[in-house]
Structure 1
Amino acid sequence: MKKLHIYLMLTGVMMLWGFNVSILKTLVENVSPVTMTSLRIFSAGICVFIILYFLHILRKPTKKEWKYIIAGSLLNVVGHHYFLSVGLTETSATNGALVLGMGPLLTAIMTLIFLRQKPSFIRLTGFILGSIGVSITVLSGSEGLAGLAIGDIHVFLSILVQAGSFIIISKAAKSIDPRLLTGYMLLLGSILLFIIGLLTEPSGLSEFFTISWELWILFFISAIFGTAVGHMLYNYAIGQTGPAEAAIFINLNTFFALLGTSLFLNEKITSSHLIGLVFIISGVIMGSGALEEIKNKSKWKKNVPLAK
C-alpha cells in the first residue's frame, strides 16, 4: 500500500513537471533563461523552507551532510539546469526531448555502477519500453529528427549530472530527510546559478523586473508547484524507492508535457502520441517494480492456506 502511495505521488509530480514545461516555454520567450531559472529556484527554495518549518523538520545539517548538499546543488541544480537551458537553445526540441528520455535508463546504469543494484529482467525491459515510448511520442512531432548538434551534448550532460545527483540523494537520505536536503540544495544552487547569470546575461536581471503581472503569476506557479513541491516530493520518493525506480516515472513527464501544450498552447495530440503513451505506461509499470510486486502478492496469496 505504501508503494502504491509513492507511485501515485510520483505520477502527480510528473504531471506538475509536464505542465510546467508550457509555463517555462512562455517565460523563457520573455526573459533571459539562466537569470530567470536562478530566481525561480531561489523562490522555490524559500517556499520549501517555509513548508519545512511547519513540518517541524527544519534543522542545521552536519558537516557530512553539507558534502551531500554541495554535491547535490552542483549536479542537480547548477549543472542540470545550466546545461539544459543552454542545450535547448542549440538543438531542436525533438532532439532535446529524445536525449532527456534517456534519463531513466542512464540512472539505472549509474545505480548499477555506484550502488551495485542490478535491475531484474522485468525492470530492465520496463526501462527499454519507456525509452521506446518517449521516442515514439517525440518523433511524432512535426520537427523531425535533426543531425547531432552541440546542444545535444549539453542536454546529455544535463541528464548525466542529474542522474549522478539521484545517486547522491539516495545516499544522503540515510541521514538527512530528502525534503530538507531539497531546500538547502535549491537555495545554494540558485545562488550559484544567479552568479553565472550575472556573468553570461548582464541585462537579465533588469529585464526580469519589467515583465507583466501575468508572467509574474506564471513565475510563482512554476516556482511553488513545479520546483518546490515537485522536487520535495520527488527527492522524498528517491529516498523511499531508490533512484532507478523513481527515475522510470520521468518518462511520464514527456506525455504530460504534450498534454500541457495541448491544453495551454493549443498544440495537437496525435494517435502516435497515444501509442507512445501505451509504451510509456507499460515501461513505468514494469520498470518501477509494480508488476513484480503484483506477481509476488499473487504468489503469496496462492501459498497461504485457506482458513477452515
Structure 2
Amino acid sequence: MTVVRYRNLLLFVFLAAIWGSAFMAIKAGLEFFPPVLFAALRYDIAAVFMLAYAVYVTDHWLPRTRAEWWLVVVGSVLLIAGYHIFLFVGETQTTSAAAAVIISLSPILTTTFARALLPSQRLTAAGVAGMVIALLGVAILARPDPANLLTEDVVAKGLVFLAAVSFSFGSVLTRRIDARLPIETMEAWSMLGGAILMHAVSLALPNESLGDIVWTNEGLLALAYLSLVASAIGFLIYFDLLERLGPVEINLVSYVAPIFAALSGFLFLQEGLDRYTVAGFLVIFTGFLLLKGRDIRTELLGTTQRDGSTD
C-alpha cells in the first residue's frame, strides 16, 4: 500500500470518526440548547469558516448567475436547513447510534432519487431490491407498533428519516441545475442561507429563544465541536477525499460513521446499543451493497490500478 493510500485511509477513518461522533455531540448539546436554534448557531459559526476558506481557495467565491443562486437556494433549504431541523429535533428522542444508522440511508436514497429524476440514470432490479431492503432496515430499527404508531421514539426516528430524505433529494436537485459553482462556494453560501432559515424557523417556534439556552461548558464544547470540527474541518477533509477517491468510495463513510456514533454515545452519554439498531444497520448496508455493488467494484478496481502505477 502506498503512502497516498495510507493517507487516504487515515483521513477516511478520521472523517468517519468526527462525523460519527457528531451525532453524540448533537445529543449532548440538546440538553442545553433548543434543537432548531442549536442547529442554526452551529452553522452561523461553520459558515464563517467555510466562506473564508472559499475566498482563500477560489476566485469564484460569490455566486454570479441566477442558476448559481438557485443552487445555493436548494442547498440552503434541503441540504442544510431541512436536513438539520429534522435531525436535531429527531435526536431529542432517539440515540446517537440509531440516528447515525438511519442517516446512513442517504447514499441509497440519493441513488434512488437520481435514477428517478435524472434521465441518464436507470434503476435496475437489484437496485429496487436494495432500496426495499434498506427501508426494511429502518423499519427493523424503528419497530413501529401498528396499534400505536405515534410514540415519541417512532416519531423521532421518522423525523431523522425525513432528514435523510431532505439531504438526498437536495443532492439530486443540485445535479439538475446547470451551474458551475465550486463546491466550496456552494457549501459556504448554503451554510449561511441554511443558518438564516433555521433562525427564522426557531423564532416561529414556541420554547425556542436565546433565553431558553442553558449556558454551560458542556454545551459550548458540543457547539464548538459541531461547528469547527464536524463542519469546518470535516468538510475540508471530505472535499479532499472526494477529489482523491471519488463519490462512490467516499459514500462508504456513511457506513463507518455509525460505529463511531455508537462508541462515542456509549463512552460519553452511556447510551446503550440494542440488537434492533445493529440488525437495522446490517440490513441497510446489505441494501446499499445491492444498489451500489457494481459501482464499488469498479471504483475499487480503478483505484487499485492507479495505485499500482505509482509507488
The TM-score normalised by the length of structure 2 is 0.73
- Greater shift, 40-49 or 12-21, is seen at 12-21
Residue 232 of structure 2 corresponds to 228
SS where residue 62 of structure 2 aligns? coil
8 Å Cα contact 2:16-2:260 kept in structure 1: yes
Task: Indicate which of 289, 292, 296 corresponds to 2:298.
Answer: 292
Distance apart, 1:78 and its partner CA? 1.3
RMSD of aligned residue pairs (Cα, Å): 4.3
Residue 305 of structure 1 corresponds to none
Once the two structures are superposed, the pairs formed by residues 150-189 of structure 1 within 5 Å of their partners are 150-170=155-175, 175-189=180-194
% identical aligned pairs: 20
C-alpha distance 180-79 of structure 1, shift in aligned 2 (>3 A):
same
Give the aligned residue type for 1:292: T
Task: Indicate which of 74, 86, 89 corresponds to 1:83.
Answer: 86
Q: Deviations over 1:62-98 (max 9, x none)?
A: 2221110011110111111112233344x65487566
Once the two structures are superposed, the pairs formed by residues 91-240 of structure 1 within 5 Å of their partners are 92-93=94-95, 99-115=102-118, 116-118=120-122, 131=134, 139=141, 145-147=143-145, 148-149=149-150, 150-170=155-175, 175-201=180-206, 203-208=208-213, 210-234=214-238
C-alpha distance 273-42 of structure 1, shift in aligned 2 (>3 A):
same
Gaps of 5+ in 1: 301-308
Q: Deviations over 1:216-262 (max 9, x none)?
A: 23311210111223245446766887766644432222222012123
The TM-score normalised by the length of structure 1 is 0.73
Q: Deviations over 1:188-235 (max 9, x none)?
A: 110110111112145521233x51234223311210111223245446
Residue 12 of structure 1 corresponds to 14
Residue 69 of structure 2 corresponds to 66
- Greater shift, 48-57 or 38-47, is seen at 48-57
2: distance between equivalents of 1:194 and 1:263?
32
* Corresponding residue pairs, total: 292
8 Å Cα contact 1:106-1:160 kept in structure 2: yes
2: distance between equivalents of 1:99 and 1:27?
20
2: distance between equivalents of 1:207 and 1:271?
36
2: distance between equivalents of 1:102 and 1:118?
19
